[in-house]
């Protein structure tokens, strides 16, 4: 790495040889938030209150007060989000080393399975199929589960039924493989959580949250445009807000994709 490398990168971004893909949904009061069983506390929706709009409340300026849960819209999960990660060092968004916010990303295409089955599971076998074509997932990579779920909106996004939400996710075994055998940095999805909609029924419940955060790994969820990423070779930029003792935050997730990657 040298000054030259950065100058080349800047030039290639300017020419479009390196594309920057936005993986973020617009933060909007109507964007769905996770709904937990009624005995638990609930995630507040994003709200925006106008303070002034070039009027008597502030003649020269417009601004808003925001209300939101840390886990609203496209957002980052820190290890402190889960009980398994509560005693780890650097486990909140303000304490994570900033170098962890920039890194390679591998995208596992689960679109065919998710199209046929709302409860589609990413398994160790599914990871092996991906690796047979695209190579072994490198240490410290983000791994994204692409389902095209981000193309849904409204009620179809949470997909609530009488027995709770139905959306794709990883099995406990798949998440353990990614952590213990591949030593990934984090796991990301297009759905409302890193776990499947029915993730409460695994052992342990919500295994992606439990195992990722217990191992000091991160989560990203509610992402969009994963169909614009290559299976390997993109560079991810995902930096949460620096909230003191924060367990997560909405953020702008972007990926750098080189020309010729597909």
Residues engaged in binding Mn ion (CB under 5 A): 71, 77, 248
Q: Peptide bond preceding 148: is omega within 30 degrees of 0, i.e. cis?
A: no
Nearer to Mn ion, 104 or 248 (CB): 248
Distance of CA 188 to the CA centre of its chain: 4
Q: What number of residues does the chain have?
A: 262
Nearer to Mn ion, 18 or 247 (CB): 247
Q: How far is the CB of 127 from Mn ion (least distance, A)?
A: 22
Active site residue 81: yes
Nearer to Mn ion, 109 or 195 (CB): 195
- CB-closest chain residue to Mn ion: 71
Q: How far is the CB of 129 from Mn ion (least distance, A)?
A: 28
Distance of CA 106 to the CA centre of its chain: 13
Token pair for residue 14?
């300017």
Name residue, tokens 């990657």.
261
Nearer to Mn ion, 77 or 109 (CB): 77
Of the listed 81, 130, 209, 213, which one is catalytic? 81
Q: How far is the CB of 242 from Mn ion (least distance, A)?
A: 17
Q: How far is the CB of 31 from Mn ion (least distance, A)?
A: 13
Residue 188 main-chain phi, psi, to 5 deg: -130, 150
Greatest distance between any 2 Cα atoms in the chain: 64
Torsional sign, CA 12, 15, 17, 18: positive
Active site residues: 81
């Amino acid at each position: 790495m040298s000054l030259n490398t950065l100058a080349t990168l800047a030039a290639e971004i300017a020419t479009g040889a390196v594309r920057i893909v936005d993986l973020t949904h617009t933060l909007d009061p109507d964007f769905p938030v996770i709904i937990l069983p009624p005995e638990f506390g609930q995630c507040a929706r994003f709200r925006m209150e106008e303070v002034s709009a070039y009027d008597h409340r502030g003649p020269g300026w417009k601004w808003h007060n925001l209300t939101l849960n840390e886990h609203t819209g496209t957002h980052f999960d820190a290890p402190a989000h889960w009980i398994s990660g509560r005693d780890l060092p650097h486990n909140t968004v303000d304490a994570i080393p900033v170098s962890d916010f920039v890194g390679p990303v591998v995208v596992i295409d689960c679109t065919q399975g998710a199209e046929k089955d709302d409860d589609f599971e990413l398994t160790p076998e599914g990871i092996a199929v991906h690796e047979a074509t695209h190579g072994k997932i490198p240490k410290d990579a983000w791994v994204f589960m692409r389902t095209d779920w981000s193309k849904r909106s409204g009620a179809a996004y949470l997909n609530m039924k009488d027995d709770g939400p139905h959306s794709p996710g990883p099995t406990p075994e798949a998440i353990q493989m990614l952590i213990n055998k591949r030593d990934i940095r984090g796991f990301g999805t297009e759905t409302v959580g890193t776990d499947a909609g029915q993730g409460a029924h695994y052992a342990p419940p919500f295994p992606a949250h439990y195992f990722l955060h217990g191992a000091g790994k991160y989560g990203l969820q509610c992402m969009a445009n994963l169909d614009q990423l290559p299976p390997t070779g993109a560079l991810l930029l995902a930096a949460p807000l620096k909230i003191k003792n924060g367990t997560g935050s909405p953020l702008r997730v972007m990926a750098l994709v080189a020309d010729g990657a597909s």
